Chain A
Amino acid sequence: MLFNSWTFLVFFAVVYTVYRSLGTRVRWQNLLLLLASYFFYAWWDYRFLSLILISTAVDYAVSLGLDREANSRARKLLLWTSLGTNLGILSLFKYFDFFQENLVALFSQLGFHASPLTLEVILPLGISFYTFQTLSYTIDVYRRKISACRNPVDFALFVAFFPQLVAGPIERAATLLPQIQKARHPSLDQIHGGVFLILWGLTKKIVIADNAALIVNPIYNAYTAFDGFDLIIATLAFALQIYGDFSGYTDIARGLAKLMGFELMLNFRLPYFATTPSDFWRRWHISLSSWLRDYLYIPLGGNRAGPTRTLINLFLTMLIGGLWHGARWNFVLWGAFHGVILILYRIVDQRPRRWSLPETALRMLIMFILTLIGWIFFRSESLEQIQYLFTHMGFTLSSGSLGLLRQLAGLAAPLLVVQIWQQRSGDLLAPIRNGPLTIAGLYTVLLLLLFLFGVRASTEFIYFQF
């Protein structure tokens, strides 16, 4: 069930009506949300609901044990049970075929013959998101940062809360669980912000991202038929597409949660205005980058073990971050690329961060170009494609280039206007810090954009595949 479908509209209208009619009876509300979340997930494929149930049951039991147990060896064993189960499921469904195929290829290079055993299973929707979310919970209980949740419905809802189940944000138990456990009263400003986020998120997805995809897909899917500036335009369009798609999803998820009285974490803070790679990762998919920082980079030693080790830790973290996106070499290369630029900036760019406006603009431009280079790795489907794109990109125009550029500018314009507004005011909700009639005007424009320029076929969100 996609957020941008009529089916979801009906689903949410029903769930929301019942939810609000339950008033402050939080236990019943949570049960309703849990059932709705399972229904939401099962709509895609009910069989994979069992994986969520396994993760939930194991982590619920493990966390109770961790809370009770004082013996450190027993606690470690419990933690490894959770890690083993969750990462085992994730590896089996997401990475088994990839590692198997690559090992077989490596063996045959070395002269050994091994027959491949690929499972060819479908990737369960959102598996990387809910696995990381539930892992962070168990690790936090192990570290005694939080205590275990005793109510199985509350915990199951924390794992499966439908607005963020399949594409994040990857929530932390310390912030989401308390909201689940206490009575919720959606305030007027939450509803106000929620409506804006839903409308703006839908616009980013249906109007900007889905239309940008119409530029990207024909070129990236038949890349050898294109060269020169068309390849640059397609990559720029992909930057729009992936940002509009993913941040649009997050906005809708956060908006829906706000309507129900929940606050989900910020996942995007205008990433294309970043001036350095570390700034980019403070703005892009924040829930993943902070997860990787807290549960991977810092446990690896972070920056406490000397400069060389810090750089190695950074690189490893980004590499695994790349692999999190999918079992393909292009994602590994994308992660590695970001690791390398993080390291280079750390070594070379030691100046204090007080830049003049032109210098800030120049840094932003350079970072944007680096981000685009990263997107080439990310969007490509093979190493041959990456090689072709890097060697055939240029500024030669084709007969269709200007038309494509016009389309791209038309799509980028509303995004740019709103984002400059948000950046200058320092407030992501700046567009609704106005009089009611101005906001009404803005909403009218957004609704008309959705009706008249939205791509009608409900297309999946890109991050569902991760």
Chain B
Amino acid sequence: MQPPREIAQPVRLRDLLISLLVPLLVVLLINLGFAIYLDQRPFNRGAWLNGHKWSLLDQLDTPIDTLILGDSSCNQGVIPEKLGRALGGTALNLCTTGSSLVVDDAWMLAAYVERFGPPRRVVVIHVYDVWGLGEDSLRNIRWTILPYRHLWQGRRPIIAQSSQRFLREIISPYLPLISQEATVRKLLFEPQLLLERRDFSTDASGFMAVPEADAEHLARDIAIHRASTMNANFRVSDINQRALQELARIAKRGGFPLFVANSPIAEELAHDQIFRKYYDTVSHYLDQQALELDFERILAEAPAFSQEVMRNADHLTVAGAEQYTAELARALAR
């Protein structure tokens, strides 16, 4: 069998232009379609949550007494209404996702203080493993926060921006084929999902209620946490360290107390010796930072919850959120 050759054949300019321009046009249209679709019908809960919490903050017209910042464990773990009742005053849950890192907390607090002045208190809650996450984790969701909420408004960046990155972040909301390729891939392979409406919602104070426990998910998640901490050494990421310093600086300047709490954690993990070795290192780091940066540590001992009130290893059901909020209120009142 002879190996094939490369046989050149003449081509007309018209045909060449069609073969080049039609694909570009089709791909642009597909991209545009997804950009509009994903803007109208959010598919990714994390991306929706980031946008939603920022719009809660934007729509706020009166000052709040207790601001709650952090990740998704706190988004569905702290009930502002209950916390407000216990402490006296109002509370707002602005917690988003772990991959928004501590940096989003700093931007939100800065945005709040700029408009309303210092709140009475601020609580920051993150799962232990968020503290080690670097700037790469921010990459995929950054476009939901940065272009509109941060860079245009000239707030302090905290993260290092190369001009290439800056450009990418600005154009990425309009290029879902590049910035949300995993979502687009899923929708193309399971087109029935295009018709499915994903209704994400929180109450007016930003709390996302999740009613049912999920034992299977919990078991799987516990195994993942165990495996990922088994031989790992904790090191806070640069970007989180800078963001924590920024939070402390804003609090100091505004003269209000800043509290950093540990997130809820599954009982089984809290009693696991090997896991605790890593977990306690993170806690110890936060204790030290509290002394250095002058903020307060609360719920520093792993706040453990039984499997009946957990969705996974660090996310609570409504019943669990009631308990965690009560513990948090007690700690804040002390």
Contacts and interface: CB of A to CB of B under 8 A. Distances in A.
Given A188-B12, A283-B3, A428-B6, A452 B22 contact: no
A28 interface: no
B19 A436 contact: yes
Contact of B4 (A427, A441, A452): A427
Interface in A400-436: 422-423, 425-430, 432-433, 435-436
A189 interface: yes
B185 A443 contact: no
Contacts of B188: 452
A466 B181 CA distance: 34
B22 A428 contact: no
B10 interface: yes
B272 interface: no
A452 B181 contact: yes
B303 to A, nearest CB: 36
Contact of A189 (B9, B18, B185): B9
B141 to A, nearest CB: 16
Given A444-B22, A451-B27, A452-B177, A269 B9 contact: no
Nearest to A421: B4
A189 B8 contact: yes
B185 to A, nearest CB: 5
Quick one: which of B10, B20, B188 has the most chain A CB within 10 A?
B20
Contact of A193 (B4, B8, B15): B8
Most chain A beta-carbon contacts within 10 A, residue among B11, B12, B18, B184: B11
A275 interface: yes
Contact of A429 (B2, B7, B12, B27): B7
A448 interface: yes
B159 interface: no
Contact of B6 (A427, A440, A448): A427
A273 interface: yes
Interface string A171-206: 000000000000000001111110100000000000
Contacts of B16: 188, 191-192, 436
A254 to B, nearest CB: 9
B26 interface: yes
B142 to A, nearest CB: 15
Interface in B36-75: none
Given A192-B16, A447-B27, A448-B30, A437 B7 contact: no
A188 B8 CA distance: 10
B185 A452 contact: yes
A6 interface: yes
Interface residues of A, number: 40
Contact of B13 (A188, A279, A444, A447): A188
Given A188-B16, A444-B27, A452-B184, A269 B164 contact: no
A282 B188 CA distance: 41
A6 B4 contact: no
A53 B18 CA distance: 44
B35 to A, nearest CB: 13
B23 interface: yes
Interface string A438-454: 01110110011001110
B7 A427 contact: yes
A452 B12 CA distance: 31
Contacts of A213: none
B334 interface: no
Interface residues of B, number: 32
B5 A428 contact: yes
A422 B2 CA distance: 12
A3 B181 CA distance: 21
Given A269-B4, A282-B3, A452-B184, A188 B11 contact: yes
A340 interface: no
Contacts of A444: 22-23, 26-27
Given A6-B164, A451-B27, A452-B188, A423 B22 contact: no
A451 B19 contact: no
B15 A428 contact: no
B291 interface: no
B1 interface: yes
A300 interface: no
Nearest to A286: B3
Nearest to B10: A189
A194 to B, nearest CB: 11
A446 to B, nearest CB: 8
Given A189-B10, A428-B5, A443 B181 contact: no
Contacts of A191: 16
B22 A453 contact: no
Interface string A263-278: 0001001100101000
A435 to B, nearest CB: 8
B2 A451 contact: no
A443 B19 contact: yes
Contacts of B300: none
B189 to A, nearest CB: 10
Contact of A451 (B10, B15, B18, B177): B177
A273 B22 contact: no
A147 interface: no
Contact of A426 (B2, B13, B164, B184): B2
A100 interface: no
Contact of A443 (B23, B30, B178, B184): B23
B2 A448 contact: no
Contact of A423 (B4, B15, B26, B177): B4
Nearest to B13: A188
A315 B109 CA distance: 72
Nearest to A258: B8
A189 B11 contact: yes
Contacts of B7: 426-429
Nearest to A447: B27
Interface in B253-297: none
A191 B11 CA distance: 10
Query: Shortest 10 CB-CB distances between A and B: which pairs?
Result: A269-B3, A440-B22, A443-B23, A436-B18, A439-B19, A436-B15, A444-B23, A451-B177, A436-B19, A428-B6
26 contacts: A188-B13, A189-B8, A189-B9, A189-B10, A192-B19, A193-B6, A193-B8, A266-B5, A269-B4, A273-B1, A273-B3, A282-B3, A427-B7, A428-B5, A428-B6, A428-B7, A429-B7, A429-B8, A436-B22, A439-B15, A441-B23, A444-B23, A447-B27, A448-B27, A451-B177, A451-B178
Given A429-B6, A437-B22, 17 more contacts: A190-B8, A192-B11, A422-B4, A425-B4, A428-B5, A429-B7, A430-B4, A435-B15, A436-B16, A439-B19, A440-B19, A440-B20, A441-B23, A447-B24, A448-B30, A448-B177, A451-B27
